[in-house]
Amino acid sequence: MITPMREWTANHFERADRFVVLQMEAITLIVMQAEVVALEPVLDVQVMNTQALPNYANASGFLPLTAGACPVYTLDENLNTLDQIPPTYRICAVMRNRPNDYALSCVAVHLLSRNEVSLHATPRSMLNARSPILQLLVHDGKLLLGTTAAALHAHLDARGNADVISFEQRIKRIKS
């Protein structure tokens, strides 16, 4: 039996007891609590060395954790990555995505329990199979964008590895 990925993830949101709200300047993301490994201050973020970490070229910096360098991403309202962390961002949430843990810089982070949020499906006219936004949640009349560490990582990875070539070049590659 085939179950849509979106439905499968929604069931996980339904069953989760606690959530972590990741407040950014223009948007607010929400993930299940089990998706967040640790919280680290933005002050600990070090400048990105793209030569040392070539796979994380779109990260704003990295956290030197005991397990190794952890890339830190900063997102704008369109979920595009920013080169620098804005001064209002104070905390980083380290996301569980073994073996590729990563961190998201945030203005603030706080916890919510299941009974403080209501779950809503993404309206059909807004569906985008490539979006990491898998569930819409409402808390105190405010919209929170539900995602998972894996879905967000896939989105960030797709952006970092995007192969921007011309249409002609692509045709040549296919033919060769």
Partner 1 sequence: MINAAEAWLVECGHARVFISALNMLHVIEDSTMRYRVPLTPAHCNSVLVWQQRVLPVVSIAELIHQPTRTPCKYVCVLGWQDIQAGTEYGVLAASAFPQRIMIHDSHSVTPAAELAEAWQPYALCFVEYNNKVVPIIDPARCFNASQFDRQSGIEAVGMIA
> Which residues contact partner 1 by CB under 8 A?
1-6, 8, 26-27, 77-79, 118, 120, 122-133, 136, 138, 141-143, 145
54/123 with CB nearer partner 1: 123
End-to-end CA distance of the chain: 38
99/141 with CB nearer partner 1: 141
Question: Whole-number minimum distance, CB 40 to partner 1, in Å?
Answer: 25
Question: Whole-number minimum distance, CB 79 to partner 1, in Å?
Answer: 5
For 20, counting Cβ atoms within 10 Å of its Cβ (0-12 exposed, 13-18 middle, 19+ buried), the class is buried
40/148 with CB nearer partner 1: 148
Backbone φ and ψ for 86, nearest 5 degrees, come out as -60, 155
24/37 with CB nearer partner 1: 24
DSSP notation for 26-46? S-EEEEEGGGEEEEEEGGG-E
DSSP notation for 17-31? SEEEEEE-SS-EEEE
Question: Whole-number minimum distance, CB 37 to partner 1, in Å?
Answer: 24
Assigned token pair, 80: 């595009």
Question: Whole-number minimum distance, CB 10 to partner 1, in Å?
Answer: 13
